[in-house]
Amino acid sequence: MPHRGQKADVLQGTLDLMVLQTLAVLGPLHGYAIASRLEQVSSGALQLNMGTLYPGLMRLEQRGLVHGKWGVTANNRKARFYRLTSAGRRELDNEKAEWDRIASIMHALLHEAS
């Protein structure tokens, strides 16, 4: 079903972008922190489940955009922290620019004065 496949790709693409942006703004975070930050920023609209978030993080790591390492939280708990790599930073900038470009095109298209 090509339609569903496309939607999944779009979702994955935006998830990547959101994660990269979060790490750029807040520095290294563990998975749960990323998820709750995104939930907070989206006012509850974005509720990532583990089956989406962690494979996504794994993929970013496989692509070399983030680097994961075990560390300890403020409460002395063992957690895996992800930080942005320089490649990740470059990718973030590119994706941001691309997103802005598409958004402005769509905006112009959907709100054009007749």
Partner 1 sequence: MLREWTTRLWGTFRGRRDDRDLEQELRLHLELAAEDARRRGHSPDQSTRDAAIRAGGISQAMEALRDQRGLPWVADMAQDAGYAIRTLRRSPSFTTVSVLTLALGIGATTAIYSVVDTVLLQPLPFAEPDRLVRLVENVPARVAGRPPLQRAVSYQDFLEWRTRSGTLYDMFVVGSLGARTVRTREGTARLWGAMTSADAFTLLGARALLGRTLLAHDESNPNVVVISFDTWRRIYQSDADVVGSTLELIGAVPAVG
Chain contacts with partner 1 (rule: CB under 8 A): 30-32, 35-36, 47, 49-52, 54-55, 58-59, 62-64, 77-80
Tokens of 63: 């692509």
Neighbour-count burial for 67-104, b at 16+ CB within 10 Å, e otherwise: ebeeeeeeeeeeeebbebbeebeebbeebeeeeeeeee
Nearer to partner 1, 76 or 114 (CB): 76
24 contacts: CB under 8 Å, gap ≥ 6 = 84, 89, 92
Closest separation in Å from C-beta 54 to partner 1: 6
Closest separation in Å from C-beta 65 to partner 1: 10
Nearer to partner 1, 75 or 114 (CB): 75
Nearer to partner 1, 78 or 111 (CB): 78
Nearer to partner 1, 21 or 91 (CB): 91
